[in-house]
Every structure is written in structure tokens, then in C-alpha cells.
Amino acid sequence: MTGSVRNTALSRRGTFLALLTLLCAPAIAAAAKPLRIVALGDSLTAGLGLAESEVFPVKLQTALRAKGHNIEVINAGVSGDTASGGLARLDWSVPDGTAAVILELGANDALRGVDPAVTRKALEAMILRLKERRIPVLLAGMQAPRNLGADYAAAFDRIYPELAEAHDLIFFPFFLEGVATDPNLNQGDGIHPNAAGVDAVVARILPRVEALIDRAKKQ
């Protein structure tokens, strides 16, 4: 092969490789882009009383990445928010590009004695709007304080499993399972988890979030 022929061949090869790289770049970028999960909730999500590194969305993202998931978890928690409040801010709290939502609302409704029918209506409206946008939901259940009476507790507690079944949602029955009432896992107010409590929540909910990720990838 003469020098000129060889140089021509190398030039063509270089042009081909450059073109191939250019064509593959969008796919590579898409593959590297993390899947976005919005954690839509109240102070339990926002992380009232905790350092930024200790809040639920941050620790959940860390746990997911440790298991090899390329995930970004957005903290859309607002302290004091009710289910109706979440519905009012749904569109801007869950922006375009969101792949999935963890819906954690209702605890403040129960603490304030809101009519369970009102809470149910707001939660279901959020679920339906997210379904219209083809955004899968993990519904985190809540339980009413027992001092509100057996009738109220029964009406409130059944909101979550009934909505989960009716709308085929991934369901985590009680967000504070194993954490509520444990002084070692809660801050001084006895309501909000401390850093160790958040770790416990993340460990328990993690398999459901992985199921949510699988569902989101199929959308």
C-alpha cells in the first residue's frame, strides 16, 4: 500500500469513527441521564429537623445508587402539607421529565382530624392526574392517631390500601413502619424520624422503590 493510499484509508476510517461517535452520542447521553423520581410529601419527606444529608430523598437516592440504579430523587416535601395542599401544587411539584412519584401525604390530615373523605378525594385526584401523565406512583400509607377514635381511624386507615388496589399502585402500607413510637428512631417531638429513623424507613421501602423503577422503565 502506497503512502497516499494508506493515508486516504486512514482518513476515511477516521471520518467513519467520528460519524459513528456523533450518531451514538445522543444514545450515550440518554443512557447516562438519571431516571428522576419525585418524592411528593410533607415534613416526613422534607426532613424537618434534619441536616440536608439526612433527609429521606437524599438517603433513598444514596441507597439506590449503591445498588447500581442511576436515579435522581427530588425532594418535593413541604412541612405541614395536607393531601389537598399536595394536589394544589401537583403540577409544579412534579415537572415534565418525572419518571415516577413516591406519594407520601395524609399524615397532617389525620393529625388535624380532616374528614377522611376529603383526604381520599385529594389523594385520588393526584393519582388520576399522574396516571394521565403516564407517571407510575408508589403510594406510602399513613395511619391515624388512635386518640381520634376507632371510627375515624378505621375510615382513614383504609384510604390507602383501597386506593392502591383500585388504581394498581405499588403500595407501602405504612411509611413509618417500625419507626413510629420508637424513641430511639424519632426526634424529641416523637413524630419526626431522626437520621437513624430515616435509615430504617429507607431500608424497608427500598424494595418497593425498586419495583417502582422497573415499572417506570416500562412506560
pLDDT in tens, 65-116: 999 999 999 999 999 999 999 999 999 999 999 999 999 999 999 999 999 9
Q: Which residues contact 51 (CB under 8 A, 6 or more apart)?
A: 195
Question: How far apart (Å, rounded) are the C-alpha atoms in residues 208 and 216?
Answer: 12
Single out the catalytic residue among 43, 81, 93, 157. 43
What was the pLDDT predicted at 158? 98
More confident residue, 212 or 3: 212
| pLDDT of residue 26 exceeding 80 | no
Given the residues 53, 69, 189, 214, the one annotated as active site: 189
What is the phi-psi region of residue 40: left when phi exceeds 0, alpha when psi lies from -120 to 50, beta otherwise? beta
Look up residue 82 and give its three cell numbers.
Answer: 395536607
Task: Considering only CA atoms, give the Rg of the chain.
Answer: 23
On whether the CB atoms of residues 183 and 190 are closer than 8 A, the answer is yes
Q: What pLDDT, on the 0 to 100 scale, is given for residue 32?
A: 78
Is 168 catalytic? The answer is no
Beta bridge partners, 193, equal: 186
Q: Would residue 189 show up in a list of annotated catalytic residues for this protein?
A: yes
pLDDT of residue 25: 42
Partners of 40 in beta bridges: 76, 103
Cβ-contact 216, 99 below 8 angstroms: yes
Distances (CA, A) of 154 to 75, 199, 213: 30, 29, 31
pLDDT tens-digit profile of 140-162? 999 999 999 999 999 999 999 99
pLDDT score of 27 more than 50? no
d(CA 62, CA 174): 22
Task: Please give the average per-residue pLDDT across 199-219, as a whole number.
Answer: 97
153-197 tens-digit pLDDT: 999 999 999 999 999 999 999 999 999 999 999 999 999 999 999
Active site residue 192: yes
Cβ atoms within 10 Å of 147's Cβ, excluding its own:
7
Residues in contact with 110: Cβ distance below 8 Å, sequence separation at least 6, in sequence order = 119, 142, 143, 144, 145, 148, 156
